[in-house]
């Protein structure tokens, strides 16, 4: 009877050891999957970080270029006023050039800017050659 109980105890122990090995193998598989996921997440984070750095660099460069453009454009209104004050007759030619770029006809230029027909025609032809 004691041998029977001993045999059952040994079988139970072997069964428990077998279950432990199966569970240990599953734990290792889960651990390997977790490592693979961690590597994938790390690669994606690095990729996103690089992309963000590129966007930030581009934004900074655009900001610097915008700042430079503002500095270049800022004095233009004052320069235009100085030009207009130096030679009031040149104002009509400046306005005429702007109107030609907007598609004004020769007659429009004559009426709006007080140009002669020849002057208006010359401006119109010069604009057509430049375009």
Same domain, 47 and 102: no
For 91, the domain range is 76-130
- Percent of the chain beyond pLDDT 90? 51
Number of structural domains (the chain) is 2
> Is pLDDT at 6 greater than 70 in this prediction?
yes
Q: What's the confidence (pLDDT) of residue 9? A: 92
User: pTM score > 0.75 for this model?
Assistant: no
Same domain, 119 and 60: no
Q: What is the pLDDT of residues 45-101, one digit of tens each?
A: 999 999 999 999 999 999 999 999 999 989 888 877 776 666 555 557 778 888 888
> Is pLDDT at 25 greater than 70 in this prediction?
yes
> Is pLDDT at 4 greater than 90 in this prediction?
no
Same domain, 44 and 33: yes
Same domain, 65 and 96: no
Same domain, 6 and 61: yes
Q: How many CB atoms lie within 10 A of CB 103?
A: 8
């Amino acid at each position: 009877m004691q041998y029977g109980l001993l045999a059952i105890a040994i079988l139970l122990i072997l069964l428990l050891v077998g279950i432990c090995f199966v569970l240990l193998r599953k734990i290792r598989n889960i651990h390997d999957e977790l490592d693979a996921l961690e590597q994938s997440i790390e690669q994606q984070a690095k990729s996103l970080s690089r992309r963000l750095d590129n966007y930030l660099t581009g934004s900074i460069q655009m900001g610097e270029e915008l700042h430079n453009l503002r500095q270049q454009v800022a004095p233009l209104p004052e320069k235009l006023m100085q030009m207009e004050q130096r030679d009031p007759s040149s104002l009509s030619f400046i306005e005429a050039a702007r109107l030609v770029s907007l598609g004004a006809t020769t007659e429009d230029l004559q009426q709006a800017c007080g140009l002669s027909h020849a002057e208006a025609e010359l401006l119109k032809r010069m604009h057509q050659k430049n375009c």
